[in-house]
Structure 1
Amino acid sequence: MVDTTAEIVLFDGFDELDAIGPYEVLENAAHAGASLDVQLVTLEETDLVTASHELRVEPDGTLGRPDLLIVPGGGWTTANGGVRAVVEDGVLPDAVDERYAEGATVASVCTGAMILAEAGLLEGRPATTHQVAAEDLEASAANVVDERVVDDGDVLTAGGVTSGIDLALWLVEREFGEDIAAAVTEELEHERRGSVFG
């Protein structure tokens, strides 16, 4: 029986590695014994989502009520699509806030932190993001720290792109133990970088 549900929410213009890196870590953790179900989801039903580098992904379904919700970044500095469009639209930030209020742990990768900031989850909290959005994140009243992964309990943030792998490995270690995290790290042949702030 699966105890923990994790959903990674996709939107047009998301950065591929922001989502797929954590997805692979969490899937490998499930294969290594973590009681975990991982899905790629969207807000509304759709056949395909187009990422920032034109990768097209078929989601597993729509956003449910996960225990863990991961929000990727991508497209903060571009005019079309991505995080900036999602923040301006406001629907996904509202959905993130709603899941958080219902008890979900929420994590962001890269500029996905701007979606968490728009949801009101980072005010007065330590947080990190990709360097291109650090000033904007600070302007949102977050306490921006120069760290790869920031764990503030029920809200976590990770810096640029590849830090999503370290974020997911930390979540695996935190929730399912060092042995499973070590097994996944070995499987990926990944060298974890930086300490976790928080």
Structure 2
Amino acid sequence: MTTDIAVVVYEGFDEMDAIAPYEVFSHASDRGCDLDVSVRTLDSADRVTASHGLGVEVDGRLADADPDLVVVPGGGWNDRADASAWAEAQRGDLPRALADLHEDGVGLAAVCTGGMLLAEAGVLDDRPAVTHASALDDLRETDAEVVDARVVDASRGTLSSSATPSDDGDVLTAGVTSGLDLALYLVARICGEEVAEQVATEIEYEPREDVYVAREE
């Protein structure tokens, strides 16, 4: 069973937050991991400009996909930029879409201040979570439980190629470069440790084993 992963982007998203996980998932797919990864937007835009000026062509709308997991990057939260995660939180459309996806059992994984969008969506309520260090005070003002870890797995289901997320949903959060750790952690859960190790070797990255797992395995 193929695991469908959608990386949702918006104007002002941080390049590393989205592209690093995308590359990890792509390498995993090349190594036989049964997953598909695409880049999606909430609206019908064909191209999105990231926070440092990179133009990214997208694969289509999030509404036209049927993802098992949605990866949410951050970007520009602390600057309160007009094009940023903060602006998306103020508009509310993306948080509402994420809340609806979570209600439908879709897994959500946020990188950096993408975690604040999950908080705005209400899916971090009473769950452990982390975000970029400079936004931790904002996260503490929500109903999330802030923990000290690079990756936080607050899942209440099981995300794997043989099982879809439970109704309680899979929710994971990470910092910035922690997006690599998050993606490798997900690859290990979906396709096994061997594939994750192969990908880490390919990208010459040594994962940091700082993962907080909330549920019982």
Structure 2 length-normalised TM: 0.88
Q: Identify the residue that residue 162 of structure 2 maps to in structure 1.
A: none
Q: Which amino acid aligns with 2:180?
A: I
For normalisation by structure 1, the TM-score amounts to 0.97
Indicate whether 1:69 and 2:70 are aligned. Answer: yes
Query: Using the alignment, how far apart are the partners of 1:197 and 1:32 within structure 2?
Result: 27
**Letter of the structure 2 residue corresponding to residue 72 of structure 1:** P
- Are 1:185 and 2:186 matched, yes or no? no
Structure 1 partner of 2:179: 164
| 1:132-159 Cα deviation digits (max 9, x unpaired) | 1101101011100111000011100001
How many angstroms does 1:60 deviate by?
0.7
Instruction: Kindly report which structure 2 residues correspond to 1:79-90, keeping only aligned pairs within 5 A, or say none.
Output: 79-90=81-92
1:121-160 matches, cutoff 5 A: 121-153=123-155, 154-159=170-175
Quote how far apart the aligned CAs of 1:168 are. Answer: 0.2
Query: Equivalent pairs: percent with the same residue?
Result: 52
Q: 1:54, CA displacement in angstroms?
A: 0.3
Aligned residue number for residue 117 of structure 1: 119
- In the aligned structure 2, how far is the partner of 1:47 from the partner of 1:182? 34
Secondary structure in structure 1 of the residue aligned to 2:7: strand
How far has the Cα of 1:194 moved from its partner? 3.4
The CA distance in 1 between the partners of 2:16 and 2:142, in whole Å, is: 25
Which deviates further from its counterpart, 22-31 or 2-11?
A: 2-11
Letter in 2 for 1:151: D
AA of the residue aligned to 2:26:
E
User: What corresponds to 1:194 in structure 2?
Assistant: 209
Question: Which residue in 1 is equivalent to 2:22?
Answer: 23
Query: Which runs of 4 or more aligned residues in structure 1 lie more than 6 Å from their structure 2 counterparts after TM superposition?
Result: none
Between 77-86 and 32-41, report the one with greater CA deviation.
77-86
Match of 2:12 in 1: 13
Contact 1:108 1:116 in 2 (8 A): yes
Instruction: Please state whether the residue corresponding to 1:80 is helix, strand or coil.
Output: coil
Q: Distance in 1 between matches of 2:129 and 2:37?
A: 24
Q: How does 1:87-106 map to 2 (within 5 A)?
A: 87-106=89-108
Q: Which amino acid aligns with 1:92?
A: L
Deviation of residue 191 (structure 1)? 1.0
RMSD: 0.9
* 1:75–1:82 contact (8 Å) kept in structure 2: yes
1:109–1:157 CA contact under 8 A, matched in 2: yes
Q: Is the 8 A contact 1:147 1:194 kept in 2?
A: no
Q: Provide the rounded CA distance (Å) in 2 between the counterparts of 1:33 and 1:138.
A: 40
Stretches of structure 1 lacking an aligned partner (at least 5 in a row): none
Secondary structure at the residue paired with 1:74? coil
**Code of the aligned partner of 1:166:** D
Between stretches 187-196 and 162-171, larger displacement belongs to 187-196
Give the distance between the partners of 2:208 and 2:67, measured in 1 at CA.
27
Distance in 2 (CA, whole Å) between partners of 1:169 and 1:119 is: 25
- Deviation, 1:65, is 2.6
Shift in Å, 1:175: 1.3
Distance 1:89 1:167 in 2: 27
- Give ranges in structure 2 of 5+ residues lacking alignment: 156-169
Q: Secondary structure at the match of 1:172?
A: helix
Tell me the distance in 2 between the aligned counterparts of 1:99 and 1:29. 24
